[in-house]
Amino acid sequence: MSSYAQNHPNLILTKKGVQSMRAELGRAPLFDETFQTVKVQVDDEIEQGIDVPVPKDMAGGYTHERHKANFFAMQKAGVLFQITQDVKYAEYIRDMLLAYAEIYPTLGKHPEERSYARGKFFWQCLNDANWLVYTSQAYDCIYDWLDKKTVKRLNEDLFRPYAEYISIENPQFFNRIHNHSTWGNAAVGMIGLVMGDEELVKWALYGLDVKVPGDIVRDNDGGAIRLEGQDEAGFFAQLNHAFSPDGYYTEGPYYQRYAMYPFLIFAQGLTNMEPELEILKYRNGLLIKAVDALINQTNTAGEFFPINDAQKGMSLSSRELVNAVSMAYFYGGNDPQLLSIIKNQGRVPLNDSGLGAAKAIAEGKAKPYQYKSMELTDGANGDEGAIGIIRNGDITLMMKYAKHGMGHGHFDRLGFLLYNGADEVIQDYGSARWVNIDHKDGGGYLKENSSWAKETIAHNTLVIDKDSHFDGNVKDADKTSGTPYYFNAENSQVQIVSAKELNAYPDISMQRTMAVLDIDELENPLIVDLFSAQAPTGTRYDLPMYYMGELMSSNQKFQTNNELAPMGKESGYQHLWLEGQADLNGEMFSMTWFNKKNFYTVTSTFQEGDKALLTRIGANDPNFNLRRDPGLIQRRTGGNTLFASLYETHGMYSYSDEIPINSFTSISGLKVLHQSDKYVIIQFGLKTGEKYQFAFSLVNDSEVAKHTVQIDNSSMTWTGVYDFKKIDK
C-alpha cells in the first residue's frame, strides 16, 4: 500500500483545511449557510434510514433516484463528519457502504438493456461512475475511522470489483475521449487514491491496454467509441484531446459543465495526494481556463448556450459549477470577479476552496464579473474551428463554427443564437430530452433528438436541397470543422465574426459574417447577417430562423394554411408544419415579433422567386415530445447567392399601463450593392433619413489590404477587412 493511503483525510479535505473550517464556522456567512443546509439534508436522510434497493429503473425511476440520493448523502455526510467529528455521520456512511457491499456480489448487469455500457446500480456505467466519484470522497473521510476488517471487506467486496467493472470489464466506456470516460477515469482514480491502489490510479491516468470489443463501435448517441487517430486513453488523454487551449470543450458547454466536476474533483485529489503531477498547471493551467471559458458561454442569467445536446436552463448555479468556480478562485489566483459569481450561486463546496471563497466574500473582495466578447477555439491544438461570442450591453450573439461535438453534436455549422439579456431572441432548440423525467422515455434522449433536434433545419443556418449538413452522418461530420475567418471585437462600436464551412455539402462553400453595430440613431445595437454560398445553379436553399415570441406584423401578405401538412419526410422536415407562406415582393422583407417586453424586427433582402414560410414545430410527434415553437424560413432556388438580413431590438410594452413604445422598426430600406465570391456590400437606411454602408472582404483578412469594388458607375475603396460608415442622406 502506497504511503499516501496513510494520510486521510486528504482526497478533497486537507487536515489544515478541516482545522480552518472548524475555526471559521460562524465567521464566513456563505460557508455557514451552506454548512447548515447540508446538515439539515443529511440529518433528514439519516432519519429516513438506509435504503439500497435492487436496481431496476432508468433515470427518473425510484431505484435510480434512490441510489443517486445515496451517493450525494454519503459525500455530504463525510464532510460533516470531518468538520463536526460527530460519529453518527461516519456510522451512516459505514452502514450504507456495508449494505452496498452486501448487495453488489449478487448483481448482474442492470436489467435495462439500452446502454452500450450497462451499469450495475444504474442503467449505464456513466451513472455507476458518478456513484463512485462521490462515494470515494465519503469513504476517504471515514477511512481512518473504520476498523481494518471493515476496510478490507469494503475494498475487496465492493470497491475494487466496482472499479474493475467500469474499467477493464467495460473498456468501451473507460477508454474513450468523452465525458462518459472522464467520469470513469475520475471514479477509478479517486477510489484508487483512497485505497492506495496504485494500479487503479495508473489505469485512471493513462487508460487501459485493453482492446474494445469489435462489435461495439458507437454509443447510444451515435458517437464513435474510438476516435480516428486516437492512440491514448485515460485522464491525461482527456485533458489532451477534449479541450482546446482556450478551455473550450468539444462537446459543448452543457456537457463541459457536467464533465467539469470529475475533471476538477479528481484534479483536487491528485493535487493533495500526488502533488508532483502538478495537474492544475497541466497545459498552462487548462482546467482553470476551462472554468472561465464555461462562464463566458452563458447569457446574463448565467444559463449556458444550449448548443449541441443541451437542456435549456442549465446554469452556473449547477452543483458542478458551484464546485468549479470556487476551485478556480482558490487555485487560479484569487480573481475577485469570480467571487461575484460565487455570491450569486448562494452556496459553496464544503472544502478548502469553498471556505476560501466564502471568507473573501465576507471580507468584501468580490467584484462584478466582466463578460467579454471572445472567440473560443476548438480542437486539441486550437485549430479545429471555434465559436464566436459578441457582447454589447444586453445583446449577446453567439455563432458556432466548431467541431461537430462527437455523438452529442448537432448538424449546425454556421448556426447562431441571439439573446437580449436573459431572453432568447433567436433560439437554438437544444436537445429533445426531459432529463430525469420518467414520463418521457425514462428521462433519456428521445427519438426526436435525432429526427429533429440534431438535424440542420432545426437550427438557424443554411439547409441545401432539404438535406442536413454531412447528410446527417456523425462520422463524416467529426472529420472536419468550420473554418474561422475573421473575429474582431476590439472596437466596441463594430464587432464582427465571420467563418466558412467548406465540407457540409459536396462542391458547395458557405460563409457567414455577422456584425454587431452601435448606431447613434438606434436604441439598441443592430445585428447584420450576411450568409453567402457558392453553389451550382438550381440549388434549393432554406434559411430558417427560430424566433421566440408572437408575430406582430409583416410587410408581406401571408396565405395561411387551414389544413396543415408536414413539410417533408426526413431530415427534420417531417416535424415542421407549414402554417403560412408568402411570395416575396416589394423592395425588402420585414417581420416584427414581440417577446416578454420588447419588440424585434428582421429585415431581409430577397431575389425574384423567393418565398417566406411560417412554420411550427410539432408534426409527426404523437407523444408531444417537442415544443411547439414558431419559425421563419426564407426559401430560394438559384446558384451563387447571398442572404442579407438585419436584426433589430426596439421598444417595449408596459403590461401594467398597456402602453407600447417604439413598437415599429426604424429600418426604412435594405439592399445589396454588391455580391460576389470576393466581396459583399450592403446599404441600409433609417426612417430618420440616415443611410449606412457595410462592406466586407470574403477572401482577404489582412488589416492592411486595400480593396476597390465597382458599384454601378462608381467605385468603393477601403483598407482592411471591412468598412462601415454613414453616407450622405
* Residue 255 among the catalytic residues: yes
Instruction: Find out whether 112 and 128 touch, Cβ atoms under 8 Å.
Output: no
C-alpha atoms less than 13 angstroms from C-alpha of 471 in its C-beta half-sphere:
3
The DSSP letter of residue 55 is P
3-state helix, strand, coil in the chain (%, to 5): 35, 25, 40
With a CB cutoff of 8 Å and minimum separation 6, the contacts of 591 are 551, 553, 554, 555, 556, 601, 602, 612, 632
- Cα angle 486-491-495, degrees, rounded to a multiple of 5: 45
Candidates 593, 633, 637; CA nearest to 615 is: 633
SS (H, E, C) 13-37: CCHHHHHHHHHHCCCCHHHHHHHHH
- Classified as helix, coil or strand, 653 is strand
* Residue 404 among the catalytic residues: no
The residue from 89, 116, 255, 573 that is catalytic is 255
With a CB cutoff of 8 Å and minimum separation 6, the contacts of 156 are none
Cell digits for 333? 489566483
Task: Find residue 594's DSSP bridge partners.
Answer: 550, 599
* Beta carbons within 10 angstroms of residue 204's beta carbon: 27
Instruction: Find out whether 412 and 462 touch, Cβ atoms under 8 Å.
Output: no
Instruction: Find out whether 461 and 412 touch, Cβ atoms under 8 Å.
Output: yes
Q: How far apart are CA 516 and CA 394, in angstroms?
A: 12
Q: Which residue has the cell 450497462?
A: 118
C-alpha atoms less than 13 angstroms from C-alpha of 584 in its C-beta half-sphere:
21
Concatenate the DSSP letters of all residues of 577-629 into one string. EEEEEEE--SS-EEEEEEETTEEEEEEE---TT-EEEEEEE-TT-TT--S---
Q: How far apart are CA 238 and CA 177, in angstroms?
A: 6
Amino acid identity at 290: A
* CA distances in angstroms from 52 to 5, 28, 64, 339, 381, listed in the order given: 28, 36, 10, 39, 45
Q: Which residue has the cell 479528481?
A: 266
Candidates 461, 466, 464, 465; CA nearest to 482 is: 461
Candidates 246, 266, 304; CA nearest to 132 is: 266
Concatenate the DSSP letters of all residues of 314-338 into one string. -BTTSHHHHHHHHHHHHHTT--TTH
605-626: string of b/e by CB count within 10 Å (b at 16+)? bbeeebbbbbbbbbbebeeebb
The residue from 408, 459, 469, 707 that is catalytic is 408
- Compute φ and ψ for 192, nearest 5 degrees: -65, -40
Active site residues: 255, 408
